[in-house]
């Protein structure tokens, strides 16, 4: 998620202090200043809330990445469910506009998960979060289907309407979303494009 350069590394005493607060994560993931990498970035739809990313090569699942939102020193663990996000949205509060609604949609679909993982908004075949083990057929299907998510205007209720190609489990959908000012998101409909692909998005967060 967010494979751009906007991340800032946490080091030294700040790193040690933060790890003390969260160790062990979920009661099972051990952290250590020697091996755990922590970085943070701001998010365009909040004024003062940052996203924190935690990784450690010593964890059994090498792909596991733990994320938190931090709001005025309070940590909210992003565990694949929507309540932590909605809690921050009402407290912060969230400020959605035409310029950041697609960022928020991608954020929400990545962090609020179904049984099979994220509802990943797929926009670019070179996105490192997409499966790296796609065979030639799957790759050509994905490449021929995905496109940038788009903002399609507002409806009468003042909700933002967005379209996106979603990679969920081993299938691709075109989905239409309604995003409310409060941060609530509804998938209005989804149309399967390709199913039974040989790869799925594997980005565990909990």
Domains of the chain are 8-91 (3.30.720), 101-194 (no CATH)
The residues facing 179 across adjacent strands are 160, 185
State yes or no: pLDDT of 11 exceeds 80.
Answer: yes
C-beta separation of 175 from 164 below 8 A: yes
Name the residue with tokens 């933002």: 160
C-beta separation of 162 from 149 below 8 A: yes
State yes or no: pLDDT of 170 exceeds 70.
Answer: yes
Average pLDDT, the chain: 95
DSSP element (H, E) containing 9: strand 8-10
Task: Evaluate the omega torsion of the peptide bond into residue 93 and state whether it is cis, within 30 degrees of 0.
Answer: yes
| Eight-state DSSP code of residue 197 | -
pTM (2 decimals)? 0.96
pLDDT tens digits for 20-76?
Answer: 999 999 999 999 999 999 999 999 999 999 999 999 999 999 999 999 999 988 999
Q: What are the tokens at 2? A: 């967010």
Q: Which of 1, 49, 6, 52 is nearest to 31 (CA)?
A: 52
User: What percent of the chain stands above pLDDT 90?
Assistant: 96
State yes or no: pLDDT of 5 exceeds 90.
Answer: no
- Among the residues of the chain, which ranges form H helices? 12-22, 83-91, 101-111, 136-145
């Amino acid at each position: 998620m967010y494979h751009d350069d906007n991340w800032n590394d946490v080091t030294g005493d700040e790193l040690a202090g933060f790890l003390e607060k969260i160790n062990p994560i979920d009661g099972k993931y051990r952290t250590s200043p020697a091996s755990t990498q922590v970085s943070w970035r701001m998010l365009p739809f909040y004024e003062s809330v940052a996203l924190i990313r935690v990784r450690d090569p010593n964890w059994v699942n090498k792909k596991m990445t733990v994320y938190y939102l931090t709001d005025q020193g309070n940590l909210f663990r992003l565990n694949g469910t929507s309540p932590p996000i909605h809690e921050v949205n009402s407290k912060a509060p969230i400020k959605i506009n035409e310029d950041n609604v697609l960022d928020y949609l991608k954020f929400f679909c990545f962090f609020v998960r179904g049984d099979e993982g994220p509802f990943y908004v797929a926009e670019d075949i070179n996105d490192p979060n997409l499966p790296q083990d796609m065979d030639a057929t799957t790759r050509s299907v994905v490449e021929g289907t995905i496109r940038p998510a788009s903002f399609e205007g507002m409806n009468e209720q003042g909700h933002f309407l967005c379209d996106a190609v979603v990679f969920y489990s081993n299938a691709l959908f075109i989905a239409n979303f309604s995003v409310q000012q409060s941060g609530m998101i509804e998938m209005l409909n989804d149309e399967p494009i390709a199913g039974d692909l040989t790869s799925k998005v594997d980005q565990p967060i909990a």
